[in-house]
Amino acid sequence: MKQRQQTWVARNSPGFTLIEVMVGIIIMAATAATMFYGVSYARAQARKIIIQQRALEELRSQMDYWMVRILDGNLTNHDLLGDTRGTEITLYNPDADEQNDDEAFKAMIYRLPMERSFSVHDPEEDSPYYFLEMFIQWSDHLGDPTGEPMELRMQYSVFKNL
């Protein structure tokens, strides 16, 4: 019997083979998946920065409010006890029309008890100061895998002249 010898002939027709097209699709899919991951990571980091900035604004606003109350002398004994239960605020709400939204970032602002103190350089005790400390806590339910609450703290020493 005679064996047939098969010879490969160079392809002269224009176009791509199925293998070449599939390799191109796989390369494009891998590139697209990497880009989508990068974009979603960048969006999550941008949202995290927005929330941190908003928390800082809220904390500064509350600190300024209490600093003015101290300077004005408009403090009661109840005010000096602080707010250890906290006050809830909304830091970020993508759907601003709905107040009870699961995607909204809620935070709690706490104010620690204040004490009236006197400077060691002032023996007559005619210029007291108050140590004001507040902090804000929130949970990052989108990007933090540990689940630890985020926190910002501020402290002021507010001097009041009598």
Q: Where are the domains of the chain?
A: 18-159
The per-residue pLDDT for 46 is 87
CB-based burial, 127-145: b 16+ in 10 Å, e otherwise: ebbbebbbbbebebeeeee
> Which phi and psi (to 5°) does residue 47 adopt?
-65, -40
Paired with 150 in beta bridges are 138
pLDDT higher than threshold 90 for residue 110:
yes
Mean model confidence pLDDT for the chain: 82
Q: How many CB atoms lie within 10 A of CB 112?
A: 16
pLDDT higher than threshold 60 for residue 1:
no
The per-residue pLDDT for 7 is 60
The per-residue pLDDT for 50 is 87
